[in-house]
Amino acid sequence: MIISSLLIVEDEPFILDMYEEVLRRQMLRVTGVRNGEEAYHLLAEGATFDVILLDIMLPKTSGVELLEMIKDNGRIILPPVILITNLPDKTVIDRCFALGAIGTITKSEITPGQLLPIVQKILDKKEATS
């Protein structure tokens, strides 16, 4: 059995804890950080993940800034990135897509139980192309 690894970048402790718990129960390796700066340091130091769940509105380094930093780095291989946000700003979301995001989840419209099938679909697609 392949155990997939996820990085969740979410500044709201309750949401981060809830997502981590739901995904860990499914035998996934989950790393949670509370801002883009922490996420960038993990990735720049060589940590690899199969999927990143990324909030856009973050302290220190926003989700958009994180994606820009990763692109500018050139050495970090970006896995599939799913935006988890309540931000309705289409310009910002489009910018994230231009920087490599592949999907969006609206936090206020999803339950933790609905998160797993979305993540699993991405992992299955990634595994099929590997």
- Between CA 36 and CA 8 the distance in angstroms is 10
- Looking up residue 21, the CATH number of its domain turns out to be 3.40.50.2300
Residue 130 is predicted with a pLDDT of 61
What residue numbers bound the domain in which 118 lies?
Answer: 5-129
Residue 128 is predicted with a pLDDT of 66
85 with 106: CB under 8 angstroms?
Answer: yes
Per-residue pLDDT of the chain (130 residues; tens, 9 = 90+): 456 899 999 999 999 999 999 988 887 899 999 999 999 999 999 999 999 999 999 998 999 999 999 999 989 999 999 999 888 889 999 999 999 999 899 988 888 788 888 888 887 776 666 6
* Residue listed under structure tokens 């996820």: 6
91 with 46: CB under 8 angstroms?
Answer: no
Q: What total number of domains does the chain contain?
A: 1
96 with 77: CB under 8 angstroms?
Answer: no
Residue 111 is predicted with a pLDDT of 85
